[in-house]
Each structure stands twice: as structure tokens, then as C-alpha cells.
Structure 1
Amino acid sequence: MRRHRLRSALAACSFLVAGLATGCGHATRTPAGPGLEKKTITVAEVPLVDEAALHVAVTQKLFQAEGLNVRVEPVTQSIAALPALKRGQLDVIAGANYVTFLQAHQQGTIDLRIISPGAAEAPRFMQLLVLPNSPIRTPKDLEGKTVAVNILNNIQSLTLNEVLKANHVDPAKVKYRAVPFPSMDKALKNHDVDAIHTADPFTTNFQQELGTRMVVDGGGAPVTGLPVSGYVTTREFVSKYPKTAAAFQRAMEKAQSLAGDRARVNAVLPSFAHVDAATAAKLNLPQYPTSLDPAGFQRLADLMLSAGLLKGAINVSDVLFQAPAK
């Protein structure tokens, strides 16, 4: 039932279908702060645990404290919001998958600026799950098997391959199949795949409903702390509205810090992640970094390059937004 509600909410709130319909979002309301070039911004988000800090910022009125109104609109995939971002229909994408957006930046699809960190890998944040009676018991057993990931050649396979190599498994012998998160349980039950690589709230739901068990901790060494997703915009936005961008960044820095308190995250998860309070308390959360760490982003870009996900090196400092001095 929880999974059905999640699917229904995502379908109903996809602004790419509904044209940014007002019924799916919510906003803070306050007079514009002094000197802000734009008083209201629209943030698209994929309703996953990665974006808990955004909702902490809303509930704690951190945007209001900066004189900023923020309207939040759910979407089904972060990359699906890219056309609207380029058209100026929205201003920031929350939960943006860094791998996808760094690729889009290099391809010239977007002149990317990462405005705030969102989530980084943490133990058990991503997990490789199998059915309870599966013969797969160890990472080595995955060789020759098929693993479901949400998007092919992206953050899941990139990080899982690093974990597999650390466990003496040849990633080239593991096959990946694209399966949307909400459909992974069906694919596993039907034996369309041998294992699923997923994240919460789906992980906990699948464990409760199917009795799945973890074979590989996808957030463990050596990828713990690697940036996964965050808040992105365009160079045009931060150039045109630098004080507005800085106000958003300051509010998010405070919110990311508050998200280090598990109780604050538990309190907001039912409002957007479509889980009840009891389930929220069981979810495996990512790290919520409080600053844009160039070294961490460069490590991610270098891993992408070595995995063939980039055609050339990227200096990530070029895409990290640095607020102008007040």
C-alpha cells in the first residue's frame, strides 16, 4: 500500500505532465529579503531521502529567514526536470544525480552550477538485495548475474562496481538492467533480475514486503562519503540572481547541518517521502554534507572518467557555485 501511494503521488505530481500544476507543491511565504534579485524560486525535487534537508529548511523557516520564498514541486526523475530548468520554468533541481548532470554539462546540454550539496554515500544507504531463498550469498556470487539499477551507467553501477572490486569481484562479469525503483520488487519476484540495487525508502519497503536480504552494502568502503546528489541550477541563474542564489545556499547549509539530527529528518520524511512515521525511523539515510567539497566532487568526476562515463576530464571547481562576498 505504501508503494502504491508513492507511485500514485509521483505520477500525479509530475509537472512535466501537469505543467507545473500548483496543487502538487508547497512554498514558504515571506517578503523578499533586502537586495534579492528574485523573491520566489521554484525547486523541483525527486521525493527521496536525499532531499530531507530541503524540507527541514521549509519547516524551520530557514528560507524565510533569508527573505526568500521557495516553492517545491515533485518530479519523477531529476533529469526529467532539465528541460524546464533550461526554459526558466524552475530555478533549482533538488536530488539531482551528479553523474547525469556532469555528463549533461560536458555534452553542452546545460551550463551546470551545483549550488548546494544534498546526499553522500553512507553505509547501507544503497544496498544490493536478493530474495530470501536466493543462492546469491556473497559478492562473488554476483558474477554472471543480472542486477537491477534505476538508470544504466550511472551512480549506482559506478559506486557498486567500486565496492565489488574491493571485494575481489570482476564488475565486467556483472550485468545491469534498467528497472525503475518502484518496479524493482516485481522484477525480483518474477526473476527478471537476480538482484536489485536500491535505496530507501524502497529498500526498507522491499525488506518488509518481500523479506529481501542484503548481500552487498552499496554505501560501504571504498565509496562512503562520495557525493551522490544535490541541488543544481544553471550558470545563467546564478549570474542573473547571485544574491538570490547565495540566500538559497546559506539556508541550505544550515538545513544540511540540522539534517545531521536524525530526529529532524524523521519528522519531515512522512510529509514528502510517502512513508509513515514508523517506517521513517527505520530508513537508512545518506550523509548530508554541509559544504561543497571540491575534493569529493573531483574524486567522483575522476571515477566517472575512468569508468568511461565522461569523454574527458572535468575540473569540478568550475561548476561549484561560490557565493559572492556580501
Structure 2
Amino acid sequence: MRQSLRLSALVSAFALVLSAAVGCGDSDDSGKGGQGLEKSTITVAALPLADNVGVYIAQKQGFFKEEGLKVEVKPVQQSTQAIPALIKGDVNVIAGANYVSFLQANEKGTLKLSVLAEGATLSSHTFDLLVMPDSKIRSPKDLEGKKVAVNILNNIQSLTLNAILKANNVDPSKIEYVTVPFPQMAVALQKGQVDAIHAVEPFTSGTEKELGARVAVDGGTEPVTDLPISGYVSTQDFAQKNPKTAAAFQRAIIKAQKLAVGDRKVVEQALPTYTKIDAKVAGVITLPGYPTSLNATRMQRTVDLMLSDGLLKQKPDMKSILFQPTA
């Protein structure tokens, strides 16, 4: 009888130890957001543009939190400025990263690119070519021999504008592109340092309001309508070492993008929190498209345009570049 009681006590004690061990395991998981994520905290470098509103919506709506993620957002003025930090690991994701620069960096071997989610596609007036009100530039043809300001040379801006120029029988080589950061474009236009600026929101509305500038060319017209222009990118090393974290981030962004597509008010409320767009302007500006999936066919359009424009020498392996979560 005593032996039976002793055995029962030992079994109970073992069960308690096992339960405690399992409890410790649960505690460790909850320390990673309860999702078993490799990293529960990530740093995202983001531009003050409408392109990457998804990251701010996901933050405000608690979509990251639902995935067990804590996201720290660091503002940057140019997505390429964050590449060294991305490679070093100080930044894990870049939001609003233009595909041209990052696909080029991938081809050069500067980094092995991983696109975690699409951010924005071109819609009419997403990009606008602005000129002073008394300018004689009124069509693509009038741009020949003129200076046009872009944020970064040989980038998504010149790529898409060149496509529009070609569609209108204008030789892009007759345009002189000049590097001017978005916040400085209005001043450069006013001082006559450039003849036109290739602007995005909130700088388009700001320049129109301050200078009375007008749209000479809609930068979102055919043949570049709905073209993927920017997204949420990381490195393949990060995605391979942290697949659950990358997948959690992707799910949260896609959920935010779906909300942005279905409810413009959510976007309008988010924009003033991280850009210079006030509530009134947010209610009337043209927004880009917000893709709700990572689509290889759609992304291939940008790649093909880059290849035809000489911005890529070889066709990249998009299968390795587009992040696909494992089942």
C-alpha cells in the first residue's frame, strides 16, 4: 500500500515538473509575442510618403501586435539611404523602397533582395510633372531640352516618365534629369534651377498651393498605369533566418493594405501623422494603388520596363526575390 502511495506521489511530482517545463516553454514563446517568432521586435525605415501608409495603418490598428510583432519606425528621406543600415542589420525592413534602386542593388551584389510585400502601384496623378504657372511646357513634347528634377537619378521616376515620353514620340535622351530631394523641389522650381519637377504627394499639393504650380504631364498615365513602384523590402538573409517574423510582417501589411483599399478615410487619418499632409489635403489628394498580395506577374512589368530601359542588364530571379511564406 505504501509502495503504491509512494509511486503515486512520484508520478504526481513528475507531472508537476513536466507541467512547469511546458509552462516555461510557453513563457518563452510569449516573450516572442506568443507566436514563436524568431524576432519579436523589428526596425522599419520609412519614407514620409503615401506609398507606405500600410505600415502606419498596421501600427495604429494593432495588426502588428496581433501577429506578436513590435515595430519601431525610423523616418528616412530616401529609401536608398537606409541600405547600409539594412545590410548591417540595424534596420530590418525598408518601407516605401523604390523597386528600381533595390533591383539594381541586387544585380550589383550590394544586397540580396527580398520583397516582403508590395507597397504601391501607379495611378493617375500619383506622380505629376509640375511647372510654374507661366511655363510654356504643356505636353511631353515640350520637355525636350529641359531640366527635370527627380529625387534620385535613374530611378522609378525617370523610368516611368521615359516610358510616357516614348509613348508620345519624345526621345528621353533629350531630357536632362537633375537630382533634387523632394522637400527642395519647390524652391528649385521657383528659382528657375529646373524647368519642371517630378513630384509625389505631399509635395505635389504643397507646390501647387505655394507656387500656383500646374500639372504639365500626368505621371501615372499609360503605359505605366498600375505599375508597381515601391514596396516593403528586406534581405534574403533576414527572411531566411526569420521566416516566421517575415511572414507575420507580411500578413500585417496585407491586412493594412486591404483596409486602405476598402476605406479611404483610414488612409486620410493616417497621412497627417507622419507626413506634412494636413487633414484637408489628405481628403482630396490622389492616392496610389495599394496591392493586397505579392504578385509575380504584376512585379514583372517593372522588371521588363527596367530591362528595356537599360536599368538592368540581366533578368533577376524573382522567385528568390519575392518572399513566400512556408506552409
Counterpart-to-counterpart distance in 2, 1:131 and 1:34: 54
SS at match of 1:55: helix
Describe how 1:159-170 pairs up with structure 2 within 5 A. Answer: 159-170=160-171
Q: What is the rounded CA distance, in whole Å, between the counterparts of 1:214 and 1:37 in structure 2?
A: 48
Q: Give the structure 2 partner of residue 244 of structure 1.
A: 245
What is the 5 A alignment of 1:131-146?
131-146=132-147
Structure 2 counterpart of 1:293: 295
Measured in 2, the distance between the counterparts of 1:102 and 1:313 equals 10
Give 1:33 deviation, angstroms.
2.9
Q: How many residues align?
A: 296
Partner Cα distance (2:286, 2:296) in 1: 26
Equivalences for residues 137-286 of structure 1 within 5 A: 137-260=138-261, 261-286=263-288
| Letter aligned with residue 134 of structure 1 | S
Residues 248-297 of structure 1: per-residue CA shift (max 9 Å, x gap)? 11111111111112111000011001222112212221100111111122
CA–CA distance in 1 between the matches of 2:34 and 2:64? 10
User: 1:221 and 1:311 mapped to 2: Cα distance?
Assistant: 24
Q: Match of 1:107?
A: 108
Q: Please identify which structure carries the higher helix content.
A: 2
Q: Which runs of 5+ in 2 are unaligned?
A: 1-30
Q: Supply the AA of the counterpart residue of 1:247.
A: A
Please say if residues 207 and 213 of structure 1, whose CA atoms lie closer than 8 Å, have aligned partners that are also in contact: yes
* Equivalent residue letter for 1:284: T
Is contact 1:301-1:316 (8 Å) kept? no
Structure-2 separation of matches of 1:81 and 1:146: 28
- Matched residues, percent identical? 56
Distance 1:137 1:34, change over 3 A: closer
Is contact 1:151–1:179 with CA below 8 Å preserved after alignment?
yes
Contact preservation (8 Å) 2:56, 2:270: yes
Cα deviation, residue 247, structure 1:
0.6
Query: 2:119 aligns to what?
Result: 118
Report the alpha carbon displacement of residue 150 of structure 1 after superposing the two structures with TM. Answer: 0.8
How much has 1:201 moved relative to structure 2?
0.3
Q: Distance in 2 between matches of 1:186 and 1:90?
A: 32
- Summarize deviations over 1:168-223 as a string: whole Å, max 9, x none: 22222221111111111111111111111111000000000111111111011110
What is the RMSD computed on CA atoms of the aligned residues? 1.2
Q: SS at 1:129's partner residue?
A: strand
> Displacement of 1:31 after TM fit?
6.2
How far apart, CA to CA, are the structure 2 residues paired with 1:34 and 1:151? 39
Deviation readout 1:88-124 (Å, 9 max, x if unpaired): 1121111111100000001010011000110111100
Alignment partner, residue 324 of structure 1: 326
SS in 1 for 2:316: coil
| 1:132-175 alpha-carbon deviations (Å, 9 max, x no partner) | 00011222111111111111111001000111122222222221
Higher alpha-carbon Rg: 2
Shift of 1:42: 0.8
SS class of match (1:113):
strand
TM (normalized to structure 1)?
0.88
1:43 counterpart residue number? 44
How many angstroms apart in 2 are the aligned matches of 1:176 and 1:33?
Answer: 50
Q: Secondary structure at the match of 1:172?
A: helix
Unpaired runs of 5+ residues, structure 1, are 1-29
1:225 aligned counterpart, secondary structure: coil
Contact 1:204-1:282 at 8 Å conserved across structures: no
| Partner SS for 2:254 | helix
In structure 1, distance between residues paired with 2:151 and 2:194: 13
| Counterpart residue number, 1:304 | 306
> Could you tell me how far apart the structure 2 residues matched to 1:108 and 1:31 are?
32
Q: Which residue is 2:316 aligned to?
A: 314
For residues 171 and 86 of structure 2, the distance between their equivalents in structure 1, rounded to whole angstroms, comes to: 39
- Secondary structure of the equivalent of 2:145? coil
Distance 1:266 1:124 in 2: 17
Distance 1:161 1:144 in 2: 14
SS at match of 2:178: strand
Partner Cα distance (1:141, 1:281) in 2: 32
Query: For 2:185 and 2:37, how far apart are their aligned partners in 1?
Result: 44
Partner secondary structure for residue 57 of structure 1: helix
1:243 is aligned with what amino acid?
K
Give the AA of the match of 2:65. Answer: Q
Q: Distance in 1 between matches of 2:170 and 2:213?
A: 22
Q: Retained in 2: the 8 A contact 1:127–1:197?
A: yes
Q: Distance in 1 between matches of 2:305 and 2:125?
A: 21
